[in-house]
Amino acid sequence: MVASLENKELNALVHLLDEPDERVFDSIREKISSFGKEALPYLEKALEVSFDTFIQERAGEIIRDIQRGELHVEFTNWINTSSSDLLKGYLMVTRSQYPELSEETLTIRVEQMKMDAWLELNDNLTALENIKVLNHIIYHVHNFDGNKINLFAPQNFYLNTFLETRKGSALSLGMLYIIIAQKLNIPVYGVNLPSISSLPMFRKWRLMYLPWKMSCSISILSTKGLFLQEERLNCLSSN
């Protein structure tokens, strides 16, 4: 059933996917799963060469179990290392639904958006002008917007479908905004405000030799013009 691969034990175990005794098969399944990612090529080969739906279902289930287990370990490590790479976390969440996801393709698309914004930025811009540049690139050049008709549709939340449709939720739009901003060293962070979709920007700089901090909220679901209309601004400054 499976062409010869290097691990003879795995080869033998995968040949037993058609074991009729469920209790015996549970042991076989557990043993195959213990090999982790190493077992995937053997199981995928079984899917390719077998026309038995019973075997295909069992192989597919084990593949998904292994992928979920590996993703869980990867995600746990990402959390435990306190990684600030939000894009990596977003990609892992997306892989939970799309395990064959091409992370490189999505990363390139995000990097292109970052580069488009970088070309518009310079050291002479104020914090507010930097945000206006981000708004222009994300909402005008790349035409992202909130999916107000079907706000909670699953495609709004997974990065691959979100980038394809360019329609998202407050969460997905906010995460994309933060990812691009942080790649450009613009300190945008997310907060959860009741009934308000916003991102505040915190930046310390000097004005007339007086250091101060300004906090501005960004309405993520505003149509095309967030932070460009003065009535949408909520800015507080203090010494």
pLDDT digits (tens, 9 = 90+) for 78-129: 989 877 899 999 999 999 999 888 999 999 999 999 999 999 999 898 877 8
- Backbone φ, ψ for residue 237 (5° rounding): -125, 150
In a domain, 42, yes or no: yes
Are 12 and 18 a contacting pair, CB within 8 Å? no
The total of structural domains in the chain comes to 2
What was the pLDDT predicted at 2? 43
Residue 128's pLDDT is what?
78
Q: Do both 26 and 143 map to the same domain?
A: no
Residues 227, 125 share a domain: yes
Same domain, 141 and 215: yes
Q: Which amino acid is at 56?
A: Q
35: CB partners within 8 A, 6+ apart: 7, 10
One domain, residues 111 and 150: yes
Structural domain that includes position 51 = 8-80
Whether 150 is in a domain gets the answer yes
Pick from 45, 80, 115: which residue ends a domain?
80
* CB-based contact 101:161 (threshold 8 Å): no
Residue 98's pLDDT is what?
92
Say if residue 166's pLDDT is above 90: yes
Residue 94 lies in a domain: no
Query: Do 141 and 71 sit in the same domain of this protein?
Result: no
Q: Same domain, yes or no, for 160 and 48?
A: no
Residue 92: inside a domain? no
Q: For residue 192, tell me if it sits in a domain.
A: yes
CB contact at 8 A, 16 and 45 = no
For residue 72, the surrounding DSSP H or E stretch is: helix 53-80
Which of 20, 48, 80 marks a domain boundary?
Answer: 80
Distance CA 136, CA 143 (A): 9
Asked whether the beta carbons of 132 and 226 are under 8 A apart, the reply is no
86 belongs to a structural domain: no
Pick the closest to residue 214 from 198, 232, 187, 237 (CA basis). 237
What are the tens digits of pLDDT across the range 176-235? 998 998 899 888 877 665 544 444 443 332 222 222 344 555 666 654 444 333 333 344
Whether 134 and 38 share a structural domain: no
Torsion of Cα atoms, 27 then 32 then 35 then 37, to 10° = -140
Q: 97 lies in a domain?
A: no
Shared domain for 36 and 112, answered yes or no, is no
How many CB atoms within 10 Å of residue 162?
24
**Weakest mean pLDDT among 41-55, 140-154, 202-216, 224-238:** 202-216
Confidence at residue 63, expressed as pLDDT on a 0 to 100 scale: 94
Query: Does residue 205 lie in a domain region?
Result: yes
Last residue of a domain, one of 80, 110, 141: 80
Closest CA to 232 of 224, 171, 14, 189: 224
